[in-house]
Structure 1
Amino acid sequence: MPASAKRVLITGAAGQIGYALCPMVAAGRMLGPDQPVILHLLDIAPAAAALEGVKMELLDAAFPLLQGIVTSTDPAEACSGVDVAVMVGGFPRKAGMERKDVMGKNVSIYAAQARALEANASKDVKVLVVANPANTNALMLAEHAPSIPPENITAMTRLDHNRALAQVAERAGVPVTKVKNVIIWGNHSSTQYPDVSHGTVDGKPIREALKGSEGWLAEEFVPTVQQRGAAIIKARGLSSAMSAASSACDHVRNWLLGTAPGTWVSMGVLSDGSYGQPKGLVYSFPCTCKAGEWSIVQGLEIDAVSAEKMRATAEELAEERELALECIKEAAA
């Protein structure tokens, strides 16, 4: 029997990432090659014409799995009945803006979209936040949608995870499929900690496989992954779009369809205190997934250097949370 269609919401659908993401979802990259989809595309009113253009192109591509398209500038309409929500839309930081200004804009956006999801989406909706600051946006979405289970709201650090896999693969001279179990700890920001301590290349520990590259691992690998987004902006004049869209598909696919045995992925999830990280933050951990549920990988040994880097990114997340909560209070006053 053919599967019934799943409804997938993409916010900011007329933007760069949305434009790259829509055809990937329609082609089965996110939910699998046999899963029909109905796309719900949301954007702001000034982008309404561009949104219709995206719809026209999706129709013209004649994707076999695409069974319908809803376009809207109304969050309630766009969220109606959705099974998966990919929150790409957000307010970008502009020249002259302080962090608090950006945070205030995004708190407002995510409060409104959280209420729309809570009132209109499927009761088991799975939410992935892509827009930056992704971890804190996810936390604020959860704050404003208390009836959505907090484990159903995640932030994307899969792009950083994939960047780390690719850097190791390129250094080792192997296909990226030979590298697994790197970890992104903490925030999707320049404080994140890309960790190779538990990863492998073709079954060998990464540090053993890259023997002779200790200096590269210590001095170049971490900042390259941390600053990759900035490097792409410098090279393209535009932020990461294709890689972000692909990583969003990877994140949701593994979350809903499962991770391979012995393999974990990095996901921004609500911290339960694992590895000494503060509870109540959306923090990136190594996770395994099965049947739509994620679990934090436990029992990994953490050395002193790693512990310090993990603490530093948690401190930034705690500062972001306080800033966001302050914005909520000011908005309510």
Structure 2
Amino acid sequence: MAEPIRVVVTGAAGQIAYSLLYSIAKGDVFGKDQPIILVLLDIPPMLPVLDGVVMELQDCALPLLREVIPTDKVEVGFKDIDAAILVGSMPRKEGMERKDLLKANVAIFKTQGAALDKYAKKTVKVLVVGNPANTNCLIASKSAPSIPKENFSCLTRLDHNRASSQVAMRCGVSSDKVKNVIIWGNHSSTQYPDVHHAKVNVHGTETPAYDAVKDETWLRGDFISTVQLRGAAVIKARKLSSAMSAAKAICDHMRDIWFGTKEGEFISMGVYATGNSYGIPEDLIYSFPVEIKNKTWKMVDGLPINDFSRAKMDATAAELVEERDTALDFLSHIFCHLVEDEGKCIYGYTQKVVQL
């Protein structure tokens, strides 16, 4: 059997991680013959909760799970890891403006990026989940200059899955009969779910999604807004965020990185926009259609873009440019540091110190 790989999950005491860790530990992500060492990283007040999570993982008696390491120290959490799933971030609270959320998360993801740079394997695959995911991913990558930029991605697979499911339900088929939907741009309400290049398998025949759905008004209206606002709709109904579907999307994303995408299919990931053929500003993490082979993603280039799509793609790019510039402005004014206080890690920055 293969040597164990080390996988860190941040925010490991949270509800997304609680839905995620079992799937990783039982082999749904990295393979049914791949032993796992799980590293659970969270802030000091959550260590007692992590102890309970460790006990549950032990009680699952999973043969692939060789060790579980709970910690609040980045030098332990990121040491020699093969995969990093960065779920933990400062959540948006009532009355908090988006710029306030960005300011808090710039501090966190600069620290985590620097820790990845210092302690992780240079081959590490980093998936950023914590919101605002695209810009957090950009900051983490910029803070880890020795790790290739293509090793960083952010989660838009949840939006991709939501879009595929909406089309499948509309056509009366199972979700695996829908392929090649695209999420362009930001994991926010400006994202653009695009089905102009999608196919639906109806009674054994692959049909363009527009022809299968037969409702352009819906595809250009309610379909887009449903996907864009789905997270808020789940929170309104559950009074909690979408943990189960987010965990499933994380598994899908990382499994495709590890094992590749199917021939003739592409999926959506937030990746560096450098060298794209779609006119998107380059210094962004932007969601594109990608194909993956040998743990390396390749952007699907040259898809025809109509005027409707162009406007939507540019609008979400404009939001990402604004987020990036705001975040980089904070970085230029804020000294982000990791303080050791009686062995406990505290994330902070000068000007208004935030302890998480």
Which stretch of structure 1 is more off in the superposition, 265-274 or 184-193?
265-274
- Counterpart among 194, 219, 228 of residue 230 in structure 2: 228
**How far apart, CA to CA, are the structure 2 residues paired with 1:321 and 1:153?**
16
Give the corresponding residue for 1:20: 19
Q: CA deviation at 1:210?
A: 1.1
RMSD: 0.9
**How far apart, CA to CA, are the structure 2 residues paired with 1:187 and 1:125?**
23
Give the corresponding residue for 2:250: 248
**How far apart, CA to CA, are the structure 2 residues paired with 1:296 and 1:234?**
35
For residues 37-63 of structure 1, the C-alpha deviation after alignment (integer angstroms, 9 at most, x for no partner) is: 110100000101001111100000011
- How many residues align? The count is 331
**How far apart, CA to CA, are the structure 2 residues paired with 1:54 and 1:270?**
34
For residues 188-227 of structure 1, the C-alpha deviation after alignment (integer angstroms, 9 at most, x for no partner) is: 000000000000101110011112x222212210000000
Q: CA deviation at 1:27?
A: 1.4
Give the corresponding residue for 2:116: 117
Q: Is the 8 A contact 2:122 2:147 kept in 1?
A: yes
Q: Is the 8 A contact 1:100 1:327 kept in 2?
A: no
Give the corresponding residue for 1:295: 298
User: Superposition pairs for residues 2-151 of structure 1, below 5 Å?
Assistant: 2-151=1-150
**How far apart, CA to CA, are the structure 2 residues paired with 1:101 and 1:303?**
36
For residues 220-274 of structure 1, the C-alpha deviation after alignment (integer angstroms, 9 at most, x for no partner) is: 1000000000000001000010111110111011012100000000000000232
**How far apart, CA to CA, are the structure 1 residues paired with 2:192 and 2:95?**
28
TM-score norm. by structure 2 comes to 0.92
Report which of the two has the higher share of helix. Answer: 1
For residues 69-96 of structure 1, the C-alpha deviation after alignment (integer angstroms, 9 at most, x for no partner) is: 1110011111111100000000011112
Q: CA deviation at 1:22?
A: 0.6
Could you say what secondary structure the match of 1:274 adopts?
A: coil
Unmatched 5+ stretches in structure 1: none
In the TM superposition, structure 1's runs of 4+ consecutive aligned residues that sit over 3 Å from their partners are none
Could you tell me which amino acid in structure 1 is paired with residue 4 of structure 2?
Answer: A
Q: Is the 8 A contact 2:106 2:331 kept in 1?
A: yes
**How far apart, CA to CA, are the structure 2 residues paired with 1:189 and 1:101?**
16
Q: Is the 8 A contact 2:200 2:209 kept in 1?
A: yes
User: Superposition pairs for residues 129-278 of structure 1, below 5 Å?
Assistant: 129-202=128-201, 203-211=206-214, 213-272=215-274, 273-278=276-281
Unmatched 5+ stretches in structure 2: 336-349, 351-356
**How far apart, CA to CA, are the structure 2 residues paired with 1:214 and 1:324?**
38
- Counterpart among 266, 282, 285 of residue 282 in structure 1: 285
**How far apart, CA to CA, are the structure 2 residues paired with 1:221 and 1:61?**
40
**How far apart, CA to CA, are the structure 2 residues paired with 1:33 and 1:268?**
27
